[in-house]
Amino acid sequence: MSSLPAAGVDEVVAQVENAITQVSGWLAQAEEFHSPLKVDQIRVLIDPDSHTPTQQRTTIFVPEMRVRNAVAENTLSGGDFGIVHEITHVLAESAYRKDRNRFYDDGLAVYLQQKFGPLVNYPSLGHDLHVSTAALAAEAGDLMPLAECDQARRVTDNPVKRRLAYLQLGSFTQYLVENFGVDDYFAIYSGAPVDEVSGHSIDELERQWRSLIKSIQ
């Protein structure tokens, strides 16, 4: 029923196909990871009623207004529709999502959106995740505890806090992947105790990560 120009639909299709290929390829590095969410078909809705990209099981919702604006501004090829982020949610469900804890899910989605999404994308806006996190934390006054990030990213009346939460989740994911490798990261993602996999408690890892971000500031 949408009157969206065909070029906008074609760009969404292209981004979805690329995202599936890139995210699937990255996930394939981890020999032991198998997402609990069984995917037979991914459904994509260009949604006139949403303002932000979202995902429900194997369906992703792309805000029509974002696509329409990109068509009008002739920026379709670099349009940030959040597709890599939402495809990651479809293809890689963590062991914690069933308990409504999306700490690891959103961390991975932000990290892969940074790797494979358009050059300028939310929340890093075209910069390295660690650098963006350090800059916004300085603006906000400080980093927030990682334990508060999953709740803070749901906050819609404080855009700085919400963006910082997403940045911290992505930056911490990048820290884990870079320091412990994809296999150990996915062991944690799949529910293995952090201390047994990494040799450090989650509090120790947070202190190390915070020191990294502080050194950038």
Whole-number Cα distances in Å, 111 to 11, 14, 26, 117, 176? 22, 20, 11, 10, 11
- For residue 31, what is the DSSP state? T
Which parts of the chain are beta strand (E)?
43-47, 54-56, 59-63
Give the up-direction half-sphere exposure of residue 109: CA atoms within 13 A in the CB hemisphere. Answer: 26
Cα 54 from Cα 112, distance rounded (Å): 16
Within 10 angstroms of residue 141's Cβ, the number of other Cβ atoms is 9
Q: Tell me the two tokens of residue 181.
A: 């490798």
**Which pLDDT score is estimated for 195?**
95
Percent of the chain with pLDDT over 70: 98
pLDDT digits (tens, 9 = 90+) for 17-75: 999 999 999 999 888 777 766 777 899 999 888 888 999 989 999 999 999 999 989 99
According to DSSP, the β-strands at 59-63 and 54-56 are antiparallel
- What does 50-90 look like in DSSP terms, one character per residue? -SS-EEETTEEEEEHHHHHHHHHTT-GGG----HHHHHHHH
Residue 2 has pLDDT above 70, yes or no: no
- What is the pTM for the complete model shown? 0.92
- For position 131, what pLDDT does the model report? 96
Retrieve residue 196's tokens.
Answer: 């047994």
Average pLDDT of the chain is 91
Q: What is the pLDDT of residue 84?
A: 96
End-to-end C-alpha distance for the chain, whole angstroms: 49
Architecture of the domain made up of 6-216: Orthogonal Bundle (1.10)
